[in-house]
Amino acid sequence: MKKNLLTAIRMTIATTILLGIIYPLAVTGLAQTFFRDKANGQLIEANGKIVGSRIIGQAFTGSGYFHSRPSAVNYDASNSNGSQLGPTNQKLIDRVNGDVARLRTENPGTPVPTDMVTTSASGLDPEITPAAAAFQIHRVAIERRMTETEIVRLVSDHTAGRTWGFLGEPRVNVLELNLALDEESRVRSQERP
């Protein structure tokens, strides 16, 4: 008993050093050496400032931008969470009904894709479905004074298919798409005297 207690104490110390300190620091070293950008969160910089991460969503509400999914935490990336609303909770139904009504005025006649009115699990979902992107093309085209064909091309540039043709779901990265839209608008305004 006493011998095993001593071993337990020594084992805790020795394994904490090996598994709790050496291992994660070694992995950090390797990751920073071989995958520096990915290991640091794929941050996007513009004019020397960080404007976001490629894989963390941001909120967009302006009509010239593609909108991200609703988020239970307003895209606070230091506080990830979902809504935790159950399927029969009246709060969920009210929220969805409100969003559906608002979205239908934007795009009358089309059924609303489900990811446009449901909150994501992380609250930071960087992506929307191609259906949700198609749903917004008309509005963005009018606001940006571009043709729908031009917008469709930009969307498809930022659409990722399934990995190896079958893993996961097709999806559109909202932040990258909106940055590309801004860039396109900037170039056009320079071309026009």
Under the criterion CB under 8 A, does residue 8 sit at the interface with other proteins? Answer: yes
Under the criterion CB under 8 A, does residue 50 sit at the interface with other proteins? Answer: yes
By beta-carbon proximity to other proteins, the closer residue of 118 and 193 is 118
Question: Using CB under 8 A, which of 144, 150, 154, 178 touches other proteins?
Answer: 178
Question: Using CB under 8 A, which of 105, 149, 163, 190 touches other proteins?
Answer: 163
Residues of span 54-93 touching other proteins by CB under 8 A: 55-62, 65, 69, 74-90, 92-93
By beta-carbon proximity to other proteins, the closer residue of 47 and 193 is 47
Q: Where are the beta strands (DSSP E) in 19-61?
A: 43-46, 49-53
Non-local CB neighbours of 14 within 8 Å, separated by 6+ positions: none
Question: Using CB under 8 A, which of 156, 157, 170, 186 touches other proteins?
Answer: 170
Question: Using CB under 8 A, which of 107, 138, 141, 182 touches other proteins?
Answer: 182
Under the criterion CB under 8 A, does residue 144 sit at the interface with other proteins? Answer: no
Under the criterion CB under 8 A, does residue 180 sit at the interface with other proteins? Answer: no
Residue type at position 152: V
Q: What are phi and psi of 171, to 5 degrees?
A: -160, 160
By beta-carbon proximity to other proteins, the closer residue of 122 and 150 is 122
Residue 72 in tokens: 């239970």
Q: What are phi and psi of 45, to 5 degrees?
A: -110, 140
Residues of span 14-33 touching other proteins by CB under 8 A: 14-16, 18-21, 23-28, 30-32
Residue 25 in tokens: 């620091």
Tell me how many degrees the CA angle 151-153-158 measures, rounded to the nearest 5. 95
Q: Total number of residues binding other proteins (CB under 8 A)?
A: 107
Under the criterion CB under 8 A, does residue 118 sit at the interface with other proteins? Answer: yes
Burial of 77 (0-12, 13-18, 19+ CB in 10 A): middle
Residue 45 in tokens: 């910089």
Under the criterion CB under 8 A, does residue 142 sit at the interface with other proteins? Answer: no
Question: Using CB under 8 A, which of 122, 152, 180, 184 touches other proteins?
Answer: 122
- How far, in Å, CA of 130 to CA of 75, rounded? 21
Determine contact, residues 119/57, Cβ cutoff 8 Å.
no
Question: Using CB under 8 A, which of 39, 141, 152, 180 touches other proteins?
Answer: 39
